[in-house]
Structure 1
Amino acid sequence: MSHSYIPFESYKRKWIFNHKDLPVSEDDKAFIMPLSDKSAMEVWNKWISNKSSRAEQFSKGDWPAKQDAWSATEHWQSAWDSIDNQLPDAIIEHIQWPDDAKVYFCYEKYQVIETRWDVFVRNWKCFLFFDDGPLLISPNHKQTLMFEQNGQYKLGIRG
């Protein structure tokens, strides 16, 4: 599946990666690639849901709605608020992907960013300026994360 992308400079949410308090290196920005609406929809339909367009709509038949998809619920807000930039330990234990693993950070059906695992790890706080139920998936790995507005995240295995 080849994707089309929105140029970073034209991405309407690019401010989250240009925040003065959480600087993203130019090298990392080169790997933060927002998908076009059509490509985002293809990723969402293939790996998340072909029925629901955002997290609060997940319903029976969507793997993220299944209780057994999720093994643990932890808190991300305090790590996000801290000076330290490290991902919460439970995420690092749950996901041990190679640095160059392709990942999709999926906000909703038409808002998906393709990046690399190491780029996400370094800049995860920026991605979470929008926290209304985004999912992190990798097409080549089954582990997944879902971030919730209440400051919690869920560790899971996607169906």
Structure 2
Amino acid sequence: MAHTYIPLEQYQRKWIFNHKDLPVTDEDKAFIKPLDQKGAMEVWNKWISNRSSCTEQFSKGDWAAKADAWIETDDWQSTWDSEEAALPEIFAAHFDWTDNTPVYFCYEKYQVIETRWDVFVRNWKCFLFFDDGPLLISTKHKQAALFNQEGQYQIGHRG
């Protein structure tokens, strides 16, 4: 499925990747590709839900609403607030993805960013400036993560 992207400079949330305290290299910015609304909707409908438009609306039948989809919950906020650049340990251990694995950071049905695993790992704090229930998935692997505004994340496997 070929997607259409919005240039990062035109992305409405571009400031999250231009924050002075969390600089993103130009090399990494080249791999941070916001999808246009149609592309975001295609990813969301195919890999996340064709019923709900955001994670708060997940319902029976959505893989992410199933209790057994999630195997562990941990805190991301304390690591985010710290000087530590690395992902929380339990989170990082869950994903055995290679650097160039394509990943989708899905804020909601019309807000999805495609990037690479290594770019996400280096810049994860920027992605989480918006923490209202985003999901991290890869279409090549089953591992997934869900972040919430209370500073917790859940790791598991998509159905």
Please confirm whether the aligned pair reaches a TM-score higher than 0.5, indicating the same fold: yes
* 1:132-154 Cα distance to aligned partner (Å, 9 max, x none): 00000000000000000010000
1:99 correspondence with 2:102: no
Match for residue 2 of structure 2?
2
Q: How many Å separate the matches in 1 of 2:60 and 2:15? A: 35
Match for residue 17 of structure 1?
17
Moved over 2 A (4+): none
1:40 correspondence with 2:17: no
* Corresponding residue SS for 2:142: strand
Q: Percent identity?
A: 70
* 1:86-109 Cα distance to aligned partner (Å, 9 max, x none): 000001110010000000000000
Q: How many Å separate the matches in 2 of 1:77 and 1:121? A: 15
* 1:13-39 Cα distance to aligned partner (Å, 9 max, x none): 000000000000000000000000000
Match for residue 108 of structure 2?
108
Q: How many Å separate the matches in 1 of 2:64 and 2:134? A: 11
Aligned residue pair count = 159
**Alpha-carbon distance, 1:52 to partner:** 0.1
Q: How many Å separate the matches in 1 of 2:29 and 2:64? A: 29
* Corresponding residue SS for 2:96: coil
Match for residue 53 of structure 1?
53
Name the TM-score, length of structure 2 as normaliser: 0.99
**Alpha-carbon distance, 1:84 to partner:** 1.1
- 1:55-134 pair list within 5 angstroms: 55-134=55-134
* 1:103-130 Cα distance to aligned partner (Å, 9 max, x none): 0000000000000000000000000000
Name the TM-score, length of structure 1 as normaliser: 0.99
